[in-house]
Structure 1
Amino acid sequence: MAAGNDVTPTAYIQHHLQNLTFGNHPENGWSLAHSALEAREMGFWAIHLDTMGWSIAMGVLFIWVFRKAGKIATTGVPGKLQNAVEMVIEFIENLVQGAFHGRNPLIAPLALTLFVWILLMNTLKLIPVDYFPELFMRLGVDYMKIVPTTDPNATLGIALGAFFLILFYSIKVKGVGGFAKELSLTPFNHWALIPFNLLLEIIALLVKPFSLAMRLFGNMFAGEVIFILIALLPFWAIWLLDVPWAIFHILVVTLQAFIFTTLSVVYLSAAHEHH
């Protein structure tokens, strides 16, 4: 569905922002959605197949690349792949050492996974916006949105995973009583202010996954919309604007992966602290 076809700008934008949705339609049963309206009617039990597929694909790519680098690793002169992987690992190691103050062998591998996985998903944004939608339309698939982090379901799912770990380690390290005491006696250490403290702390706790998810989604979605709007321009203007925006977005996709990972490590560090 290229922008140059006889398609209105509104239809073009809606098409590129629509996920390939599978779910229980009230009239057709379990089926693929062929419009945004059908996708909304499927409700809670619908699943975005493109988001799931590309997320899993980037996870598999991450595992394959790092496994390959581990198999060819040498103590002699390292190759390009080994150099790149070692740079990423060293970067994450320094990040964790600076932001995490507890002792937990899970945190560094978790930070590495979050950073590389989100970075790979974000990097899909640099592929021209018409390439995969056009390819899959020729294969009979109506919609194909390839950047998982432009879907709030994906970013919220990752953020909730980090949030459950925060709750788990808060209870494991501090105990149920210690965690409850932290919520009820912070920031004001007086029994009369326990209801006020609980309100503040529970809101602050619940905001963590929401802010993680929405920050990543908002930045990636906004960038995707701009790429789509640029694709609506005349051919000469597309190359004039698309290339500089793509170069700038190399920084954005990396920065957003870094921010998500850093905040997750900081929140997990707070969960390991005794007050």
Structure 2
Amino acid sequence: MTGPLLELTGIDWSREGRRILNRVSLTVQRGEIVTLIGPNGAGKSTLVQIAVGLLKPDAGVCRRQPGLRIGYVPQALTLDPSLPLTVGGFMRLQARKLAAADVGQALAETGVGDLHDRSVHALSGGEWQRVLLARALLQQPDLLVLDEPMQGVDLTGQEELYRLLAEVPRRYRCGILMVSHDLHLVMASTDRVICLNGHVCCEGHPESVTSHPEYLRLFGWQGSQGLAVYSHHHDHRHDVHGCVTPSSAQAGS
């Protein structure tokens, strides 16, 4: 089927009288990676929850292709530490009839095939994110939605996960909508970066990180092909109440 996997048009959403999202629109095509960035409180998690159907917008339209299979990794998924649960047991929570071979293959594809019998409470941040990704991929998704998948993962682990995610659209013929926890560092294979702060501030393509001075200043090492720096400029700013006002340069023109 042609057309976007996901199309959000004019999305509004408020909570306790505060406007969180204001006329936000975006699309995700099959084979495309779209990354959302923005400061804390910008509405990124709210937007992806609307995208997967967990929240309903106050206004606007959310269109998903008929029969769309979605694999979703939320921003925070914590388990009761008193619950004795292995990685394999966790994988089967969503579908107990899954064959052991399917679970093993999904874990192997994300590089944690040897953790099947490990307690979920003994995993590192990077291992846990790989397990969550494997669980989402078990859905054979058309659309993979990842809300800050690099949270709690060190920089080396981030690069490895980004390399893995870069292969997912080709391998599964799916699209990816991903929230980045950093305002500048994004996945190098990202097709579009959307900067959100209640509304879409700007969008564009990430730049190569190999010789970007900002990246080198921050991290001091080279050779990364998994990360890119997204440089962007807004023609407005937000006041202490979150309202949009013209930038000083625009106001003086």
> Common fold, TM-score beyond 0.5?
no
* TM-score, normalising length: structure 1: 0.27
Structure index of larger Rg: 1
* Greater strand share, structure number: 2
* TM-score, normalising length: structure 2: 0.28
* Greater helix share, structure number: 1
